[in-house]
Structure 1
Amino acid sequence: MMTRRQRIIKLLEERDYSPSELVLGLELRGRGAKKTVLEDLKAIQRTLKREGKVLLIKPAECRKCGFVFRPEINIPSRCPKCRSEWIEEPRFKIEAR
């Protein structure tokens, strides 16, 4: 039986995922599911450094004005440029260095 973080690593080695897609793929439930996935991604990022792998981050982007956020493990709630809440979530993928 694999842990949740091991399952996330396996998924991210295959292709890129948004936090929402990971929640669905892992069949997580509850209000804090996205927050749990984001915390797991932060821990996974630290672990990967020791294994010679890297967590690639495609940054979140505002769907209204196109503003691109910093590449980080976070889901912004509002665009600082136009104040829109229509935000495309960041995407994550694991690759070997």
Structure 2
Amino acid sequence: METTRQRITEVLREGPATASELGESLSLPTPVVYEHLEHVSRSVADGNGAGADDQFLVAPPECRDCGFDGFDDPLNEPSRCPECKSERVGEPAFVIR
């Protein structure tokens, strides 16, 4: 039986996904997915797992109003844009390649 982090890793090897998409497919709350993603990103960076040359890549969140994408912590879902203060911020997407 695979652990939750192993299941997340496998899904991200298949293609990009947001935390809410991962949560839906794995029946997990989105905040819990973000906690697991932190560990998955460290494991991939350390070379643990099936592919030692794998990379954990993040497409940063983007403000839907002004286009800002320079968020300082892409492993968290921002609640508002620091530039225009809009709350219309898309989720970051994650993938392992």
TM over 0.5: yes
Deviations 1:38-67 (A, max 9, x none): 111110111112233111000000001111
- Comparing both structures, which one devotes a greater share of its residues to strand? 1
User: In the alignment, which residue of structure 2 is the partner of 1:69?
Assistant: 70
CA distance in 1 between counterparts of 2:10 and 2:24 reads 15
Aligned pairs (5 A) from 1:38-57: 38-49=34-45, 50=47, 51-57=52-58
User: In the alignment, which residue of structure 2 is the partner of 1:85?
Assistant: 87
Q: Give the superposition deviation at 1:69.
A: 2.8
Aligned structure 1 segments of 4 or more residues deviating by more than 6 angstroms? none
Q: TM-score, normalised by structure 2?
A: 0.87
How many residues align structurally?
91
Give percent identity, aligned residues only. Answer: 42
Deviations 1:58-89 (A, max 9, x none): 00000011111336211000011111101110
Q: TM-score, normalised by structure 1?
A: 0.87
Q: Give the superposition deviation at 1:10.
A: 0.5
CA distance in 2 between counterparts of 1:80 and 1:45 reads 25
Structure 1 residues not aligned, in runs of 5+: none
Aligned mate of 1:37, from 16, 24, 33: 33
Superposed CA RMSD in Å reads 1.2
User: In the alignment, which residue of structure 1 is the partner of 2:6?
Assistant: 6
